[in-house]
Structure 1
């Protein structure tokens, strides 16, 4: 079962420049840190360009560039269900604060799907800030035989493994949520994973699969009338889709938003972490970033450094237990 996480209050807004200046002058930070950043900062987004997380982090990067006085560059590095980029940062990047990565739940979960875990999600990274989450849901083509979630479940129950659905990869949050739903309903669907939510939606629109269960890349197509949403996985109904039920309303007591944040390699200086945290927090709270999040119905899940590290540690234990309960493995 996917765990719901509480909402967090919005902190007071203040100038990023003032915050950064105050930190550089703070007596507890070594003087050498006054040079940070002394070159461009790179943030790895482990998905193809154009998705909701990519656009949200790019919006933050624009504000951070002005605040920190160095370019903040987003580099897309997809692969291995969104874990290739983050693991490369953990294993190869210098811990100087100039190379960071989006941190998401697949990075916390995937090691426990391997016979020999390839990284430690808690100790191989320096976790900096929690940002937001995704709108997840299931959608079908507008001409699908399924007009409601209940009709889809009834068909799947009568036709084991015949109904196909797609996600952005094996072991992703949405994949495991669908595994949980199948377990509860006593049904069996055929999972057809793709590399990204964009590819998943394309496959559904092209008739390669019956249903997409993924982040909100499907939402514009629902608004345009070429797709139909069967469920949303937020705590409450989404204003853009007021007639689409939540999983809770459908009887599952599940909220799935997959909160994500920004992390760097282990061993980063805490003074540098504070500078980055404050710049990112203020970028997150700008009207421009709020507009991007609203466009994709992304819930604000801001966590400061201490709270985000606690969240990661707690969530790793939860993901580990979930993978074991569902017996999902990657290497036999």
Structure 2
């Protein structure tokens, strides 16, 4: 006697059901979207996504190429023997070996596993997603009338990475990093490099694309739901605006290839708070804290994340006051 097989509901069934419901409810959806407020929000959302998507795709492809074909041993051989001198070199290496936030954490772990000084590896972790050419070009496109914004972001992010590297060299302790992070990671064999490229690009695109949509939604909501007088008041309180934008960068956890377009959409705020948003975001956010805790241990994350937040805010404000009008 055979038992009847219970049909299993899959994601395809759910998608078809949602699609059918959307078709049946199309008149109601059309009427709702005709509201001026929703049209404005939709315009902001689409504009942010369309502008940022090419840079996001190029960035994750470049990250995949580096993960597949560039060994961290290249950077290890190029670093000076003295840790203090290796910190700025590791920061500058981000211009040659860029990567997104998600990719920089495992790369830093591999560097530590290969014997690179902790301070230099952590400097590269912070600099790679913040000052690479894709991010700088995206910032220039997002702020076409403010070329100094690119320079201010570069200086603030590089200063953050180097300052944290030197602070870790001076005050950091080896036991704060979990032993598992110090084990050497086997290198990828030549036959699997294209698979690594595809998997890395796919993972980063799905992850970063979701955060891009979240950031575009946040920009759209802020553009229509926050009263203009609130933004005017925030724009008049630069110190408060700096704190708000720094916290927003941590919570939104945007990809560094796309965050400039979200910051540019908040045109009601001065440039300095938006610069803080761009410097803090690639250095410390909720997803990075989770990744760092899982990779290097909780003892590392509870010390490194708060220190990074404070240093990033200070470096962003310093570079903004020195460069921006």
**Shared fold by TM > 0.5?**
no
Normalized against structure 1, the TM-score is what? 0.27
Normalized against structure 2, the TM-score is what? 0.27
Question: Hey, which of these two has a bigger chunk of helix by percent?
Answer: 2
Question: Hey, which of these two has a bigger chunk of strand by percent?
Answer: 1
Higher relative contact order structure (alpha carbons within 8 Å, sequence separation ≥ 6): 1
> Considering only CA atoms, is the larger Rg found in Structure 1 or Structure 2?
2
